[in-house]
Amino acid sequence: MISFATDTLPIRNPRTGEFDYHIKPPSQNDVEYICYQLRKEQVAWGQMNINHRVEVLQAWKKAVNNQKEALIEALCKDTGRQWESLLEADIVASSIDRWCGIAQNFFTPATLRQSSIPFLSIQQDLVSYPLVGVISPWNFPLLLSLIDTIPALLAGCSVIVKPSEVTPRFIKVINETIAKVPALANVFIYIEGAGETGAEIIKHADLVCFTGSTATGRKVYQAACDRFIPVFLELGGKDAALVFEGADLDKAASALLWGSTANAGQSCLSIERIYVQASVFEAFVEKLAAKASEVRLAYPSVDSGKIGPIISDKQVSIINDHLRDAVEKGARILTGSSQCELHGGGYYCRPTVLVNVNHTMKVMNEETFGPIMPVMAFEDKEEALRLANGTFYGLSGAVFAATYDEALEVAQQMTAGAVSINDAALTAVMHEGEKNSFKMSGIGGTRMGLSAIKRFMRQKAYIIKTNENPDPWWF
Amino acid sequence: MISFATDTLPIRNPRTGEFDYHIKPPSQNDVEYICYQLRKEQVAWGQMNINHRVEVLQAWKKAVNNQKEALIEALCKDTGRQWESLLEADIVASSIDRWCGIAQNFFTPATLRQSSIPFLSIQQDLVSYPLVGVISPWNFPLLLSLIDTIPALLAGCSVIVKPSEVTPRFIKVINETIAKVPALANVFIYIEGAGETGAEIIKHADLVCFTGSTATGRKVYQAACDRFIPVFLELGGKDAALVFEGADLDKAASALLWGSTANAGQSCLSIERIYVQASVFEAFVEKLAAKASEVRLAYPSVDSGKIGPIISDKQVSIINDHLRDAVEKGARILTGSSQCELHGGGYYCRPTVLVNVNHTMKVMNEETFGPIMPVMAFEDKEEALRLANGTFYGLSGAVFAATYDEALEVAQQMTAGAVSINDAALTAVMHEGEKNSFKMSGIGGTRMGLSAIKRFMRQKAYIIKTNENPDPWWF
């Protein structure tokens, strides 16, 4: 077999613009060998009692906590931001606890039961997919590398994770924590690499989970299809918020500012379009622009403000393109950046409120992934829903109205997997709701709740002839 | 848009070999318009109370029962066989009742519940996929056209079904029964056509279910991937049976004869390979060959015997090729046909027992889909499992041993979705076990039990801010 990428890849620092790190993707042979080993070790891992797997993950939780400072430092360098890096490192422990709880309640020993046919009994079994491949994005490098991984490990799978090459500095630290727990190290590894390493994983995995752009997600679906394996894709969004007359405009403005600009808008569940009922449009926009103009950049120091750098330089071009396109087509910037601003080598975009926008603009149709808030007026509920649903994405959304009932009735007609009511982007904090991605925002089962664990196992049935059948079937 | 197939297709009669029927596949425009209508009508169907959908399906059950004779007559002509046609027509009613029962217990009104976060409540919702496309095979034309369809209808989807062009005579009758129930006719139709009509359905459906060969299933997966829609595939099998020393050899021989030759072997869940422990090999083979030689062809009349014609003339070539290949490589036919036999224009294959077989032969590797029983010896459990699992299929299997426990222990190590214990092909009669297809035998969730209904709906979550949050998130 031919090796393809023994060369190192230089990695850009989002705060300085300097290429101050490098990764060395494994060769094709390396990936194949790692997958072979993981698959071999999975046999024992998959047969292990759930309490044992829980113990192993709890040991890993301690190892992660022991290395938390190093992890946060790496994540800060990877992403150029602080608050979200602290959050990401904190969430590992609570995620492990949550998934362990769900898994322990789920796995019970299979028993033989009488079926409705007198001479047949039945027993159910669960068989883990041996090797799960996880390909994760740069916007929450640690968090999104674990969202499928922890339930897959608890389901008894081996897992190989390939995070984005844009944010690879945390990989060494996380692999060190895994190495601290030998039983886990047998079945779990992170590897460095770019797209071609991800493609290599798909060649060996039995199931693939991908979080990232819709464009790349379609390629992953294609590669999984070629190998005839199942795939779970969580892709882009163009989440709409609807603000109706009667809603608390001040609270709506605060919530939408958070929902649109947290992590500098670099979240799939960011609010990317705001539609406001015409009668309250001016009042809302005034509040939003005032609040937005007060938000500071996290520059010169990482704790100077809330808005960190745009992590990926490719994303900078997209944001700039969307802003340019909108202004050329008549949009007006009330506050914010007309283009990403270069400070100390990093690109930053201020919370930016746009009005005079319409659906001919990229900023209303394509995922921007920046802290941009285009605001557009609607007359009535029908128009609001037509605008909100007029996208090929369907990840989530938000509705603000005078009463929960009024908001809920609108939410039920939105073609998206989750809708926040009288707040924005609540899927960022809520892990209990099971939800699917609609339209081009994803494919496959929910990543929350028990269903998320079940995805990683196949059901198997034993059908047992327990009594004498009066006659052979028909011979 | 360009029409592609306004010409009629002549259809071969499997008993006479004559092309005595024709179908006229709809044009591209027709398919598009039918799908548009079904999708439009689905809105009301999907919002309907489950009890109402159950009533509609129960009304349809009556309509099917009223036309049962015509349905059986059409199925007999389509397949050239009687017993299985009676069974197929009978199963409609029991399937509807079973699925209605499962659905009625499942759908309960969604309620708001407090989440673990004090100021957030959550409510779950289910959103049906608007239009499900079902592409079904010729081996059980009615039964397999309904296996995904009834749960999809109960889930609130519209359904368009395209049965195989090999067995299309029952379509007119089934559409007449649907027309008798106007509420159902709005959301449910069968259309005639071959592969290109199936491809046209995939262009418009929101989810595709396909039952058929692995080769075609891969193309369906590809087409679904191109459209970025989910797909459920139930494909081929090469089911192995393992017979251990201590098993009741007489019962095993009867069960395996049934499991291998029912419907002339034209079932995905047919036993296609029999492995017998060396110490009882001769005794088992003698019994199997004796029993097999007594089974009669359903010729000259449809009730002359149990073995009807091979339905598809393409399959005749495959069976002949597998038999020829096996004999050339040293296999010995103890009883049966060395090639399919032509009687009155139809092709028949007798229950055929082969010994001296090995894994270089097509008959041990590729799906034969005929009443062929290649029998091979093994020494111990390890060899038995290596042989049984040495296939790229993983649909189902069977184990015969002295005790259930001994058989179960082997069954747990078989890489297949369902294993019959001390009987064969029990998935044909058992609808309670939830099971997935392993390896190349399929992809997507189980077609049995509640999970089968859930496949047709997306989960949606409403996350509601019910109390005042002490602070806006971080602004």
Check A421 against B463: CB less than 8 A apart.
yes
Give the CATH number for residue B311.
Answer: 3.40.309.10
Q: How far apart are CA B371 and CA B323, in angstroms?
A: 11
CB A122 within 8 A of CB A462: yes
Check A460 against B417: CB less than 8 A apart.
yes
In a domain, B177, yes or no: yes
Q: Is A432 part of the contact surface with chain B (CB cutoff 8 Å)?
A: yes
Backbone angles phi, psi at B145, to 5 degrees: -80, -15
In a domain, A1, yes or no: no
Among chain B residues, the shortest Cα distance to A455 is held by: B445
Q: Is B459 part of the contact surface with chain A (CB cutoff 8 Å)?
A: yes
* Contact map slice: B 18-37 vs A, CB within 8 A: none
Q: How far apart are CA A257 and CA B135, in angstroms?
A: 48
**Is the domain of B446 the same as that of B397?**
no
In a domain, A171, yes or no: yes
Min Cα distance B181 → chain A (Å) is 29
Q: How far apart are CA A59 and CA A68, in angstroms?
A: 14
**Is the domain of B54 the same as that of B182?**
yes
- In this predicted structure, what is the pLDDT of residue A429? 85
In a domain, B474, yes or no: no
Q: Is A435 part of the contact surface with chain B (CB cutoff 8 Å)?
A: yes
**Is the domain of A359 the same as that of A393?**
yes
Check B419 against A461: CB less than 8 A apart.
yes
> Out of A228, A423, A433, whose CB is closest to B218?
A228
Check B423 against A469: CB less than 8 A apart.
yes
Among chain A residues, the shortest Cα distance to B261 is held by: A475
Q: Is A389 part of the contact surface with chain B (CB cutoff 8 Å)?
A: no
> Out of A255, A257, A472, whose CB is closest to B258?
A472
> Out of B116, B125, B421, whose CB is closest to A465?
B421
| Tokens standing for residue A83 | 């608050």
Based on the residue annotation, tell me whether A268 is a catalytic residue of this protein: yes
Of A84, A88, A200, A234, the active-site residue reads A234
Ordered per-residue pLDDT tens for chain A, 475 residues = 444 445 899 999 999 999 999 999 999 999 999 999 999 999 999 999 999 999 999 999 999 999 999 999 999 999 999 999 999 999 999 999 999 999 999 988 778 899 988 889 999 999 999 999 999 999 999 999 999 999 999 999 999 999 999 999 999 999 999 999 999 999 999 999 999 999 999 999 999 999 999 999 999 999 999 999 999 999 999 999 999 999 999 999 999 999 999 999 999 999 999 999 999 999 999 999 999 999 999 999 999 999 999 999 999 999 999 999 999 999 999 999 999 999 999 999 999 999 999 999 999 999 999 999 999 999 999 999 999 999 999 999 999 999 999 999 999 999 999 999 999 999 988 888 889 999 999 999 889 899 999 999 999 999 999 866 555 454 4
Check B474 against A83: CB less than 8 A apart.
yes
Q: Is B417 part of the contact surface with chain A (CB cutoff 8 Å)?
A: yes
In a domain, A164, yes or no: yes
A·B CB contacts under 8 A: 195
CA angle A106, A126, B233 (to 5 degrees): 120
Query: Measured over all CA atoms, what is the biggest interatomic distance in chain A, rounded to whole angstroms?
Result: 85
**Is the domain of B43 the same as that of B162?**
yes
Q: How far apart are CA B416 and CA B410, in angstroms?
A: 12
In terms of DSSP bridges, do strands B372-378 and B418-421 run parallel, antiparallel, or are they unpaired?
unpaired
| Tokens standing for residue B133 | 């496309």
* Contact map slice: B 241-280 vs A, CB within 8 A: 251, 254-255, 257-258, 262
**Is the domain of A158 the same as that of A250?**
no
- In this predicted structure, what is the pLDDT of residue B87? 93
Q: How many domains does chain A have?
A: 2
**Is the domain of A230 the same as that of A257?**
no
Helix H, strand E, coil C: the string for chain A is CCCCCCCCEEEECCCCCCEEEEECCCCHHHHHHHHHHHHHHHHHHHHCCHHHHHHHHHHHHHHHHHCHHHHHHHHHHHHCCCHHHHHHHHHHHHHHHHHHHHHHHHCCCCCCEECCCCCEEEEEEEEECCEEEEEECCCCCCHHHHCCHHHHHHCCCEEEEEECCCCCCHHHHHHHHHHCCHHHHCCEEECCCCHHHHHHHHHHCCEEEEECCHHHHHHHHHHHHHHCCCEEEECCCCEEEEECCCCCHHHHHHHHHHHHHHHHHCCCCCEEEEEEEHHHHHHHHHHHHHHHHCCCECCCCCCCCCECCCCCHHHHHHHHHHHHHHHHCCCEEEECCCCCEEECCEEECCCEEEECCCCCCHHHCCCCCCCEEEEEEECCHHHHHHHHHCCCEECEEEEECCCHHHHHHHHCCCCCCEEEECCCCHHHCCCCCCCCCEECCEECCCCCHHHHHHCCEEEEEEEEECCCCCCCCCC
Query: Measured over all CA atoms, what is the biggest interatomic distance in chain B, rounded to whole angstroms?
Result: 85
Q: How far apart are CA A400 and CA A418, in angstroms?
A: 14
**Is the domain of A205 the same as that of A266?**
no
Check A120 against B430: CB less than 8 A apart.
yes
- Choose, out of A437, A464, A468, the residue to mutate when testing the contact with B (most B CBs < 10 Å): A464
**Is the domain of B262 the same as that of B328?**
yes
Q: Is A436 part of the contact surface with chain B (CB cutoff 8 Å)?
A: yes
* Contact map slice: A 115-154 vs B, CB within 8 A: 115-117, 120, 122-125, 127
**Secondary structure (3-state) at B152:** helix
Q: How far apart are CA B111 and CA B46, in angstroms?
A: 19
| Tokens standing for residue A267 | 């979240």
Of A35, A100, A209, A268, the active-site residue reads A268
Q: Is A402 part of the contact surface with chain B (CB cutoff 8 Å)?
A: no
Q: How far apart are CA B112 and CA B339, in angstroms?
A: 65
Q: pLDDT under 50 in chain B at which residues?
A: 1-5, 472, 474-475
Reference A395, options A377, A375, A418; nearest CA is A418
Among chain B residues, the shortest Cα distance to A423 is held by: B465
**Is the domain of B171 the same as that of B290?**
no
| Tokens standing for residue A340 | 């990403």
Check B230 against A444: CB less than 8 A apart.
yes
Q: How far apart are CA A280 and CA B436, in angstroms?
A: 53
Q: Is B111 part of the contact surface with chain A (CB cutoff 8 Å)?
A: no
Among chain A residues, the shortest Cα distance to B408 is held by: A462
Q: What is the pLDDT of residues A394-445, one digit of tens each?
A: 999 999 999 999 999 999 999 999 999 999 999 988 888 889 999 999 999 8
Interface ipTM = 0.94
Q: Is A66 left (phi over 0), alpha (psi -120 to 50) or beta?
A: alpha
Q: What is the pLDDT of residues B310-324, one digit of tens each?
A: 999 999 999 999 999
**Is the domain of A176 the same as that of A311?**
no
Q: Is B423 part of the contact surface with chain A (CB cutoff 8 Å)?
A: yes
Residues of B in contact with A116 (CB under 8 A): 432
In a 13 Å sphere around the CA of A386, the CA atoms on its Cβ side amount to 8
Min Cα distance B153 → chain A (Å) is 20
In a domain, B329, yes or no: yes
Min Cα distance B270 → chain A (Å) is 14
Report which residue type is found at B161. V
Residues of A in contact with B257 (CB under 8 A): 475
**Is the domain of A272 the same as that of A415?**
yes
In a domain, B1, yes or no: no
Specify burial of residue B381 (Cβ count, 10 A radius: 0-12, 13-18, 19+).
Answer: middle
Check A465 against B416: CB less than 8 A apart.
no
Give the CATH number for residue B70.
Answer: 3.40.605.10
> Out of B412, B430, B458, whose CB is closest to A125?
B412
Of B76, B268, B340, B349, the active-site residue reads B268
Residues of B in contact with A417 (CB under 8 A): 458-461
Q: Is B239 part of the contact surface with chain A (CB cutoff 8 Å)?
A: no
**Is the domain of B174 the same as that of B262?**
no
Residues of B in contact with A466 (CB under 8 A): 404
> Out of B123, B228, B436, whose CB is closest to A440?
B228
Other beta carbons within 10 Å of A381: 16
In a domain, A212, yes or no: yes
Check A257 against B122: CB less than 8 A apart.
no
Min Cα distance A377 → chain B (Å) is 24
Among chain A residues, the shortest Cα distance to B255 is held by: A472
- In this predicted structure, what is the pLDDT of residue A119? 87
Check A443 against B230: CB less than 8 A apart.
yes
Q: How far apart are CA B90 and CA A468, in angstroms?
A: 25
Min Cα distance A218 → chain B (Å) is 7
Among chain A residues, the shortest Cα distance to B410 is held by: A462
Domain carrying residue B347: 239-428
